[in-house]
Structure formats: C-alpha cells, structure tokens
A and B are shown apart, each in its own frame.
Chain A
Amino acid sequence: MMPLFVEAFLMALVGFGVGFLFAYLVALRRHWIR
C-alpha cells in the first residue's frame, strides 16, 4: 500500500477541497461572487 504520509496528505487534500467547494457554493448563493 501507499506510505503513511501519502495517505494522510491525500485525505487532507480531499478535506480541504470539500471545505473550499462548500465555501464557494455558499458565496455563490449569497451573491458575494458572480
């Protein structure tokens, strides 16, 4: 399997991506951005 730090890094990346996407959608719905 993958080394431990790669697994942790991937999981962190996925978490960050989901959070960023969430913030983007919220901003879109509240018309902070176009």
Chain B
Amino acid sequence: MVELFYAYWPVVLVALAIGIIVGFLVFRPRQRVRLTDSAPVRPHMTIPPGETVLEHEAEVTTRHVSGSEGPVPAQLSDELERLKGVGPKLASMLKARGLTRYEQLAKLTDEELERLDADLGAFRGRLQRDRVVEQADYLARGDIDGFEQKFGKV
C-alpha cells in the first residue's frame, strides 16, 4: 500500500484536488429561499372591496400627487388637541399617520375613517363617538361660533 502511494502520489494529489473541489461544490453555502404562490399582504396593498385595482391605484396616485397624504411640513399642521375627545396621545397617532390638519380630518371618507379607526388600537371608535370629523370640518372652515354652539367652548 505504501509502495503504491509512493508510486502514484501525483495521481493521488490530483484526485485529492478534484475531491476537494467536488466536495465544496456539493456542500457549499447556499441561501435557503422558499418561494410561495401567495404574496404577503402589506398595509399599502389592501384594496377596499368594490374597488378595482386600477381605481385604487388612481386614487392613491391622485392623493400622492395632490399631497393630501404623507408627511406635512410642521407649519402646516394644526393643533389637533383642540378637537373634543382628541388628547395628546391620539393626536400624535393621527400625526404619525399623516393627518396633521383639520382639513384632512374633515375630508376623510367613511371608508377611510373605518380603516383609520381599525388602526387606532385603544382609541377605536373614538373618532365616531366624538364626531371628530364634524368637529374638524368646523375648525377647518374657521367656524368657531358654529363649533362652540354644537360642541361647547374650544
């Protein structure tokens, strides 16, 4: 056996190199990626029922271009705490969702309100119960008298 090795050591060396290369190719590190048919649904991917994808895209694009959604410069934000039923916590939650002005709150559709409400956790139902959208509408128009008649002192 030893004599065989001495006689054929170049052959053994070449075979060893080939073995290492093949072994590496077989056991090399690979990313384990599993592909699924269903894409995970993310918040921005939810489409309200009764709306086609195209309509939804158009609406989102319009909102994006018109700037009614997304971060708003600080000077364009209103004091949301003036609304009855909105405290500092809820106000900061609304601001985090891009709602910083009375006008934006007043323009919320029922559908948007429902979606927003479902996202508010402990404050769920607060916006409807305290008629925040109606309050915001008064304040957005600057109708303080009307607001005070309906909801009490600002």
Contact = CB atoms under 8 A, between A and B. Distances in A.
Interface of A: 7-8, 10-24, 26-28, 30, 32-33
Interface residues of B, number: 23
17 contacts: A7-B8, A8-B11, A11-B8, A13-B15, A14-B12, A15-B12, A16-B19, A16-B22, A19-B17, A19-B21, A21-B19, A23-B24, A27-B23, A27-B24, A27-B28, A28-B27, A32-B29
B8 A19 contact: no
Contacts of A22: 19-20, 23
Contact of A15 (B13, B21, B23): B13
B81 to A, nearest CB: 54
A17 B16 CA distance: 7
Contacts of A26: 24, 27
Nearest to A7: B4
B27 A27 contact: yes
Contact of A23 (B4, B5, B11, B23): B23
